[in-house]
Structures are given as structure tokens and as C-alpha cells.
Structure 1
Amino acid sequence: MNKNRKVLVTGADGFIGSHLTEMLVRKGYEVNAFCLYNSFGLKGWLDFVAPEIKNNINYIFGDIRNYDSISKAVKSNNFVFHLAALIGIPYSYTSPSSYVDTNIKGTLNVLEACRKFDIEKLIHTSTSETYGSAQYVPINEEHPLVAQSPYAATKIAADQLALSFFKSFNTPVSILRPFNTYGPRQSCRAVIPSIILQILEKKEFISLGSLMPTRDFNYVSDTCEAFEKICISNKTTGQILNAASEYEISIADTVKEISKIMNSKISIISDQKRLRPDKSEVNRLFGDSSRLQELSNWKPKYKGLDGFREGIKKTIDWFINNRNNTLYSDNNFSL
């Protein structure tokens, strides 16, 4: 791809968005980073990237819930990576209307803007949570969609909106459905950072929710590579594509792997505040990414138990740095 191609990343200030923005800059793209407007001019995690990256990003402040805001940002770009969303499942129980406004109405605004300005491709971000608990494994893109949380319901709706624009208006949309992404900068509302941070705090007892669910964890650089591979492939338009490491591990075994690497002996307490409602817990996620691999030549680098361990080591190394871990408080696990 020509390095002069212009791309917009919505949600660039977030966990995955900041990594994607950083990767695209390093690969020579002209990157416009759409960050949530705030009176302090804060750019989220992009405030913490290396100066040579930070200084090569064009920052745009706005809100995807406002059409004028996102429309001005989309104009003149070749490609749009749409990652802006509310993603915390616990907060979706408290404020589902916020998720409707951001995840559904916000996505509609992005779609309308991409249609208006004839964007070459929009890569819309979905989530493996749209599948609910696995009815069969590995989960491919034909698996039924089951909303087990208000968050998942809004993501299903956003996905369907994106597909409807492809079918109704021929808007060039691709949908990336990552399984559980982890890595540096992730919020401590997620289980892996929560475990690491509690061990760093020298806690004898670690508070977690259910230990039985299994997950297919994707290291963040693999997820970011999937975004770019979909963007540059001429076979992915109109497609829903899973990005999965194709390795399944329980939360209990994830704790064991992290504690081994950190050389820590711990006990686990089941914290009622961290448990999802019974019918809302997604008990099993184990993905099939063969379609993505076939259509884009993407392959996960952090695959299997060895790949998971390598990704966990890199994540731990980042969190061990005091400059990084002091930004967190595990008490805010739900955010």
C-alpha cells in the first residue's frame, strides 16, 4: 500500500486503537487519530507512545455520537478503522442506553459519513462476545449470535447496521471480530491486567469472578495486524472475519500461567462484584480464524500455549514498569 494513503482510526485513544495507530504510523501511513473530546486535550494512551510516533499523528477531537463531528473527520481519508465504542460489560448493566448511543448510533454516524465521502474501505470492529457461549467449537462466522449482555446486544446491532450498508448502498465494509485481545495498556477491568496488578500489589489473595470460563486470547499486535491485512486485501469487503489465536484456556489456568511467570504463590477469592449474572456469563469462547487467514494471509504469531506465554511475558514486562502500573488502580476493574 502507498504510504501516502490517509487513514482515520476512531477510538485511537483506547487500548487497541492506540496500538493500531502506532503500528500504522510505523508502517508509513498518514494517520488521523479520532479521540474523544475533553477539555484537557488528553489523547488517552496516545499520550504515552514514543515521541517519534506521537509527533507523526494528526489528532482530531470529537465524539462519534455527533454526526457533524465524525463527518468532518472521515472526509479526505482513504480508509477508516472504526474502533470507538463502549466495551466494559459490567457498566453495560448499569447504563445500557449509553451503549446504544455510542455503539449503535455512533456506528451509524460513521457509516453515513463513509457512504457520503466514498471511503475506499471501512473496517468495523466487532467482538467475540456477539457469539455468546459457544454452541459448537471452534466458533466460525456462521455461529449464531446470542446477546448475553447489553454490550453484546449493541455490538450485534452495530454489526448488522454495517452489513446493511454494504448490502443496501454497496458501502465497502469489512467486519473484524477479534477474540479476547490482551497486552500492554489494557484496562484493569479485563482479567489479565487485573491478575497482574493484584500480584504486583503483593496481595496474598486475588479477587476474581468466575474461574471456569474459557477464552481464546489474542495478543494485541496480532489483532492490529488483522486490521491492516483486512484493509489491504481485495477479498475482504462485505465479510465478517474472526481474529482468533485458536487456542483455548480457562481463567483458572490463565491465573496459573501468570503466577508462574511472576514467581508468585497466590490464592483466589471469588468476588461477587466481579461475577456476571448467571445467564449473562459467556462460558466458552474458542475461535476459528480460517476465513481471515484464507482471505488476507493473516496468521497469529502468538499461537498455542507457547505463544500465549510469550504474550503474557510481554504484557507483564510492561505492567512491571512503575511508569505504567502507577496509572492503574485495581479497584476500578469495572471501568
Structure 2
Amino acid sequence: MSDRDILVTGGAGFIGSHLVRQLTDAGANVLVADNCFSGTPSLVPAGARLETVDIRDEEFADLIRAFEPTDVVHLAALHYIPYCNANPEEAFQVNTMGTRKLVSAARDLPGLDTMVFASSAAVYPPRKGPNSEASETGPMDIYGETKLVGEDLMRLFHRETGVPTVTARLFNVYGPSETNEHLVPAVLEQVRRGNREIELGNLTPKRDFVHVSDVARALRTLLAEFEGGYGTYNVGTGTEWSVREVVEQTSEALGEEIEVVQDEDRVRESDRPHLQADISRIRADFGWEPEVEFVAGLRDLLEQDEEVVVA
């Protein structure tokens, strides 16, 4: 990728910073656009250029036109569902209108080869069993709604420009440097405080947890190998873990007994019971497979904290 000029929106965030590191290691010239609302400038590797800018502003459109990227990966969004539910207008402005601002500016780019959009498994309705890309969509929260509209904007962008455009529906991403208060960091944060009785919300929902390094590799694969048209790909593992099972596996990795209790203040009425990926399409088209097994990923996270001794 040494001949690629790649714009990564949200590149100072959790997933973005891992992707940017992989791209710069491959020799790409990377421009990160991030307002650092949840992103962290120190996560951006030295080989990339960071511009602190909001994707809703005209300054962002000017930045795109001046940089003239060969490729764009659009990750910038408000991701944390409780925050989006509490601030629906802001979620719409950032996730939908920000995406609209991006595609509007990108229409004028003379040498754009590929557009990659990070969508979410939140576009699917509650469903027992794996979700394929052909499964019916039906978001149950404002975050999923904004991502589904973003997919429509990307589809329209491809239709109007002919630029190869690919959507990645990401399942539950975990790993180092996570910036939102999702399940895995909530568990580990309490363990790191010395708690062995973990307070969580709903305990029965099952999720498909995929390591951030695998997600970054999937995005890089789509960027490099998607050849044309418009495509949609799930990025997950195909395996579900319940909240209780996550705590049990954390206990096993730690080598200590951990109990879990339900905190009614943390319970979400809207939590879906299942969310699982069918990854047969990305496997068949690109040979991509997740490499980090979930329990091994948890153990690595625990071992990265010097204050936690892993058996």
C-alpha cells in the first residue's frame, strides 16, 4: 500500500487507531480526521498525520478535497448506544449528516479508488441464529438506524460515482484501547479495581465478540481487495458468548473466582437476546478468518495490566 493516500475518519478512536497502525506499517500515507470526542491523539501512530476536525464542518470537506485520497475508510461516528439513545439528535447529526458531508465532498475527488464504510450489526433486528448479509434489517435503536441510513448513502454514492464501495457490518468489537463503556471493558475495569464481585446489567444476552486486530485486518482486506460494485460484509466470528460466560471466561483467565450480580441501574430494557454473525461471505470472497480466539483475547487484555496477575 505504499502508493496509497488513505483518509481514515475516526482514526484516533478504538478501531481506527488499530487500522491506521496496520496501514502505516504497510507503507500507506494516512490522514486521520477525528474531532477526538472519544478518540485519543496519542493512539495515532507517528507515521500518520492527524487533523482534529469534526466531520460535520465545512473544514472537513475542504480537508478531503485538499488531500485527494485514493481511498477512504469512514469510521467516525457516535458508537455507544446508551449515549446515542440519550442524545438522538446529536447521533443523527454526527452519524448521518456527517456521512452525508463525507460522500458529498468525495463525489468531486478525481482519483478515488475505494470507499469503505464501517456499519454495524445493530442494523439487524433481534433474531436467534446467525445474521447473514441477506438477512432482513430492522434496527431497534437510534444507533442502528443511523448506520442503516449510512449504508443507503454509501449505496447511492456508488450508484452516482461508480467508485467501488463496500460496507463492513461490525459485530461486538473488543481489545486494547477501547474508548466506550462496553461489556468487556466494564468487566475488566472492575477486576482491575480488585473487585471479585462484578456488577453488570442484563446477564443473559449473547454477543459475537471479535478482536479489534481482526476487525482492522478485515477492513484492510476490504480496502485492498474489493474490486468493484457495491458490497456488504459481516465482520464477526460466528460464535456467541453470554454476559455470564464472559465473566466466567474472565475468571478462568484470571485464575480467581469471580461472581456476577445484576445491577438494576445498568439493565437496558432494549437489550436483544442474541446477536451472531454469519461470516461465510467474507470468508468465501477474501479468505478472511478471525485469528484471535475470545478467551485468548481476554487473557491478553488482563496480561497487559501490570496490576492484575494472571494465573
- The TM-score by the shorter chain falls in which range? over 0.9
Give matches, 1:243-262, under 5 Å.
243-262=235-254
Distance 1:316 1:72 in 2: 39
Q: TM-score, normalised by structure 2?
A: 0.92
Instruction: Confirm or deny: 8 A CA contact 2:121 2:170 kept in the other structure.
Output: yes
Give unpaired runs (5+ residues) of structure 2.
Answer: none
Alignment equivalent of 1:89, drawn from 81, 91, 94: 81
Structure-1 residue corresponding to 2:35: 36
SS at match of 1:269: strand
Distance 1:230 1:236, change over 3 A: farther
Aligned partner of 2:286 in structure 1 is 296
1:308 to 2:301 alignment: no
| TM-aligned CA distance change 1:291 to 1:114, over 3 Å | same
Partner amino acid, structure 1, of 2:271: E
Equivalent position SS for 1:91: helix
SS of residue paired to 2:115: strand
Paired residue type of 1:97? E
Per the TM alignment, residue 263 of structure 1 is displaced from its structure 2 partner at its CA by: 2.1
Q: Paired residue for 1:62?
A: 53
Check the 8 A contact 1:121/1:237 in 2, yes or no. no
Kindly provide the CA deviation profile for residues 223-278 of structure 1, in whole angstroms up to 9, marking residues without a partner as x: 0011111011144640011011111111110110011111232222212232222x
Q: How does 1:1-335 map to 2 (within 5 A)?
A: 1=1, 3-36=2-35, 44-48=39-43, 53-54=45-46, 56-73=47-64, 75-118=67-110, 119-134=112-127, 136-187=128-179, 189-235=181-227, 237-277=229-269, 280-302=270-292, 307-318=293-304, 320-321=305-306
* Matched pairs, number: 305
State the Cα distance separating 1:189 from its structure 2 match.
0.9
Q: 1:142 Cα shift? A: 1.1
The Cα of 1:188 is off from its aligned counterpart by 5.1
Does the CA-based 8 Å contact 1:99-1:151 persist in structure 2? yes
Structure 1 residue 46, shift from structure 2 partner: 4.1
Residue pair 1:212, 1:251 contacting (<8 A) in 2 also: yes
Contact kept, 8 Å, 2:9 with 2:75, in 1: the verdict is yes
RMSD: 1.9
Counterpart residue identity of residue 99, structure 1: A
CA apart distance, 1:48: 4.3
Who is 1:325 aligned against? none
Distance in 2 (CA, whole Å) between partners of 1:76 and 1:167 is: 20
Corresponding residue SS for 1:107: helix
Give identity over the alignment, percent. Answer: 28
8 Å CA contact 1:233, 1:295 repeated in 2: no
State which drifts further: 93-102 or 196-205.
Answer: 196-205
The separation in 1 between residues aligned to 2:238 and 2:106, in whole angstroms, is 32
CA distance in 2, matches of 1:163, 1:219: 27
- Quote how far apart the aligned CAs of 1:44 are: 3.8
Asked if the contact 1:236–1:295 (Cα under 8 Å) also holds between the matched residues in 2, the reply is no
* Deviations, residues 31-78 of structure 1 (Å, cap 9, x unaligned): 11112168xxxx9434146xxx32x11111211011442342353211
Distance 2:222 2:228 in 1: 6
**8 Å contact 1:180–1:218 — kept in the other structure?**
yes
Secondary structure class of the residue paired with 1:34: strand
Q: In structure 2, do the counterparts of structure 1 residues 37 and 87 end up closer, same or farther at CA, with 3 Å as the change threshold? A: closer
- Mapped to 1, the partners of 2:170 and 2:257 lie a distance apart of 32
Contact kept in structure 1, 2:71 and 2:113, CA below 8 Å: yes
Indicate conservation of the 8 Å contact 2:80/2:180, yes or no: no
Tell whether the 8 Å contact from 2:162 to 2:229 is kept in structure 1 after alignment.
no
1:220 shift after superposition: 0.6
- The answer for unaligned runs of 5 or more in structure 1 is 323-335
Q: Which runs of 4+ in 1 moved over 3 A?
A: 43-46, 234-237
- Check 1:282–1:237 CA distance in 2 against 1; reply closer, same or farther (3 A cut): farther
Helix, strand or coil for the counterpart of 2:261?
A: strand
Query: Greater CA deviation, 165-174 or 207-216?
Result: 165-174
Structure-1 separation of matches of 2:247 and 2:160: 46
Matched residue SS, 1:81? strand
